[in-house]
Amino acid sequence: MEETEFADVLDEWFIETLKTYKDLYVYQLENPTQVIEWTSEKNICVAGNSLSKSEILELHLPQRLFAQEIKGLCTERDFKVVRGGFTDGPVCCLVHVPGTRCAVTNDGLTSDLQVWDLGSDDRVTDVIRRTGGIRGSRNVAGSGSRIAAQPSSQPQVLHGAWSSDVQLSNVTSGQTLYKLAGPTSADPLTSLQFLSPPLQSSPCDSVLWWADASSGLEPCCCRVIRLSSSGHATVSDLRNQKEAVSQAQLNIKTRCCCLNHVRVSWAPALDNCVAVSGFDGAVQIYNTSCWGTALLEAQPLFQHCGHAIALRSNDVPVCITSHVWHPERPRTLLSAASDGSVHVWDWVDS
């Protein structure tokens, strides 16, 4: 397309967004990111995945997003860089340790972790600096670790690249506190997280699976969703994971761009809804309350295609590299794509 045609296409799309989005704000990173992590109610941490030096940034979301009533009175519509630093390589996994100003990352090349100081809230420094590291239990080329963290009196993370080498480590000292005993097979981990009260990890089989668990004070309130590389999604009760409560065949492209980019996540403030991304240039929202015990095709409740809409005919197709729900706003999400774009959006409930 000519420049004028290209601009017209974008203008038409942004006009259409007024009908389907309450809010949509865009930020362009120097390099693509596959990590988006909340550090507070209005701040996120992102990092590049370039094989050379990459940025690690803490960004403040646009103030206008949080204006309750008359948004016209709030002029701040841009992301703001709160703090920043550089890594010596890619960042393929990033977790903020709750209750601290600390983040833990993995480069996707080995199972070792890097520990970062995000700086204090009083803005004494604007620099994110590396303060230490945690050794993985087994280093095999290309075996990046998954990381999980939860509030505790002593900052600690659960991490591992394989189902046979999951361990709990102290963030400050790097000391190994616990090693998972049991599995002797060495299946690569696709997800790892704390539940209440046990933990659940998800190794992959010949068909790859990704998983997420909804939070709850009691096991009866927790549900696990699993998504296969063929698009088959199942929901099960945490107390009986062998039987599916409901299931569906999702309307997704089964040939995903990169296995490490696939995400499935429960909405923390919107009942029964999950977000799915990583298979193409869209983030899809599904309402699992519409699913039954029979395997039927399910259509998404909403799709965010904004990352792909600005592509020219000769551009490389973009793929969603990460997404995350806002912890309190029911329909607000952030998403990142392989072209380095970061969007924060809130769709209209129709």
Average of per-residue pLDDT across 29-40: 94
Of 88-102, 125-139, 305-319, least confident by mean pLDDT is 305-319
Asked if 329 and 342 count as a contact pair (C-beta separation under 8 A), the reply is no
Percent of the chain residues past pLDDT 90, beyond the cut:
52
Q: 161 with 64, same domain?
A: yes
Place of tokens 């002797």: 184
- Asked if 5 and 133 sit in the same domain, the reply is no
Query: Which pLDDT does position 201 carry in this prediction?
Result: 41
Nearest to 111 by CA among 155, 163, 56: 163
- 211 and 310 in a single domain? The answer is yes
Counting the structural domains of the chain, the total is: 2
Domain shared by 62 and 165, yes or no: yes
Q: 199 - beta bridge partners?
A: 194
pLDDT tens track for 205-238: 446 788 998 876 676 678 999 998 889 999 999 8
Q: Which of 26-35, 93-102, 116-125 has the lowest mean pLDDT?
A: 116-125
Same domain, 307 and 284: yes
> Residue 161 and residue 110: Cα distance in Å, rounded?
8
Q: What is the pLDDT of residue 203?
A: 40
Residue 257 confidence (pLDDT):
63
Q: Are residues 238 and 103 in the same domain?
A: no
Q: Are residues 175 and 238 in the same domain?
A: no
Looking at the fold, whether 138 and 175 belong to one and the same domain comes out as yes
| 311 in the same domain as 255 | yes
Q: For residue 20, give the amino acid letter.
A: T
Domain boundary pick from 174, 194, 214 = 194
Q: What does DSSP say about strands 283-287 and 80-87: parallel, antiparallel, or unpaired?
A: unpaired
Over 60: is that where the pLDDT of 198 sits? no
Domain of 163, in residue numbers:
33-194
Pairwise CA distance, residues 332 & 350, whole Å: 15
- pLDDT per position as a tens digit, 301-325: 999 999 988 666 667 888 999 999 9
Cβ-count burial of 94 within 10 angstroms (0-12 exposed, 13-18 middle, 19+ buried)? Answer: buried
Query: Do 41 and 189 sit in the same domain of this protein?
Result: yes
Measured between alpha carbons, how far is residue 212 from residues 2, 180, 226, 275, 281 in Å? Answer: 44, 20, 7, 10, 21
> Average pLDDT for residues 248-262, to the nearest whole number?
78
- Are 111 and 163 in contact, with CB atoms under 8 Å apart? no
Closest CA to 56 of 99, 108, 116: 116
State the pTM of this model: 0.74
Residue 73 shares a structural domain with residue 160: yes
Within its chain, how far is the Cα of 64 from the centroid? 23
Quick one: tokens of 20? Answer: 């389907």
Tell me the C-alpha distance between 127 and 122, whole Å: 13
Residues 274/298, Cβ–Cβ less than 8 Å: no
